[in-house]
């Protein structure tokens, strides 16, 4: 069955430190891949997406993600975390190359930022 795994439930990093949030997916073909962020009381905001082409994609707020087909991974990175990045981060997959509308989400990783 198609699935998305975010192995880290909760991560704490110091402000200014680098960040990597892991995401692995289980799907035969290359799906469309997304990272969303949810701040308390807010909806899901798209950080970045991968459809095809360059495997390193840039997003908003200084985030980037790298698609690695061999590892079925789409990890999210940021070189220097800001306190305002504290939120919950969701990796999502659109199977069928997006021709199938529904998104499959991981369980999310909650990010805490220490001053």
Per CB under 8 A, residues contacting another protein are 32, 34, 36, 41-46, 49, 51, 90, 92, 94, 97-108
Report in angstroms how near the CB of residue 4 gets to another protein at its nearest. 8
- Report in angstroms how near the CB of residue 107 gets to another protein at its nearest: 4
Question: For another protein, which is the closer residue by CB, 27 or 105?
Answer: 105
Least Å from the CB of residue 109 to another protein: 11
**Is 50 in contact with 65 (CB distance < 8 Å)?**
yes
Three-class secondary structure assignment of the chain: CCEEECCCCEEEEECCCCEEECCEEECCCCCEEEEEEECCCCCEEEEEEECCCCCEEECHHHCEEEEEHHHCEEEEEECCCCHHHCEEEEEEEECHHHCCCCCEECCCEEEEEEC
Closer residue to another protein, CB minimum distance, 5 or 72: 5
41 vs 53 by CB, closer to another protein:
41
Report, in Å, the least distance between residue 70 CB and another protein. 24
């Amino acid at each position: 069955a198609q699935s998305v795994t975010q192995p880290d439930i909760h991560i704490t990093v110091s402000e200014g430190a680098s960040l990597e949030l892991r995401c692995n997916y289980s799907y035969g073909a290359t799906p469309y891949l997304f990272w969303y962020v949810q701040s308390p009381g807010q909806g899901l905001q798209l950080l970045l997406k991968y459809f095809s082409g360059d495997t390193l994609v840039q997003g908003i707020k200084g985030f980037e993600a790298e698609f690695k087909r061999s590892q079925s991974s789409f990890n999210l990175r940021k070189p220097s975390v800001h306190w305002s990045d504290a939120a919950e981060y969701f990796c999502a997959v659109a199977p069928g190359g997006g021709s199938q509308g529904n998104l499959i989400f991981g369980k999310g990783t909650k990010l805490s930022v220490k001053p």
